[in-house]
Amino acid sequence: MKVVLDSNFVLVPIQFKVDVFGEIPRLIDEKIEYVVLSPCVDELKALRGREKIAASTMLEFLKKKGVKTANVSGRPDDAIVEYAAKNGAIVCTNDKELRQRLREKGVKTIFLRKKSFLAVN
């Protein structure tokens, strides 16, 4: 099962101290292939200040975890919707509007609930 990580979700481990790579397998009982889309990587690299440090740290961590980068084009949210619908992926995001768009396409999402644990919808 492909699991797409949105930009805002990549920062969850630092912002909320939630072990997403420990929690996600609890929610999905299949072999997981983590993916981050190139527009999301670009979005993370463009951050400034403290967020830039957190993003750089997490991008290095993702590489060590073997998270693949899918080279796609378009705006991050549009690319996520298209990629997830085409590949039958689950998307990890905390963006309410994106979650609604994905729900309309029949794509499941994983999100942070109560700033302390992950839930699937």
In this prediction, residue 50 carries a pLDDT of: 87
Residues of the chain with pLDDT under 50: none
The one-letter amino acid at 86: K
In this prediction, residue 89 carries a pLDDT of: 97
Helix runs in the chain, H state only = 7-10, 12-16, 20-27, 38-45, 49-64, 76-87, 96-104
pTM of whole model > 0.85? yes
In this prediction, residue 73 carries a pLDDT of: 94
For residues 121 and 117, give the distance between their C-alpha atoms in angstroms, rounded to a whole number. Answer: 13
Domains and CATH numbers, the chain: 2-120 (3.40.50.1010)
In this predicted model, what pLDDT tens digit does every residue of 22-42 receive, in sequence order?
999 999 999 999 999 999 999
- DSSP 8-state assignment for residue 93: -
Rg (CA), the chain: 13
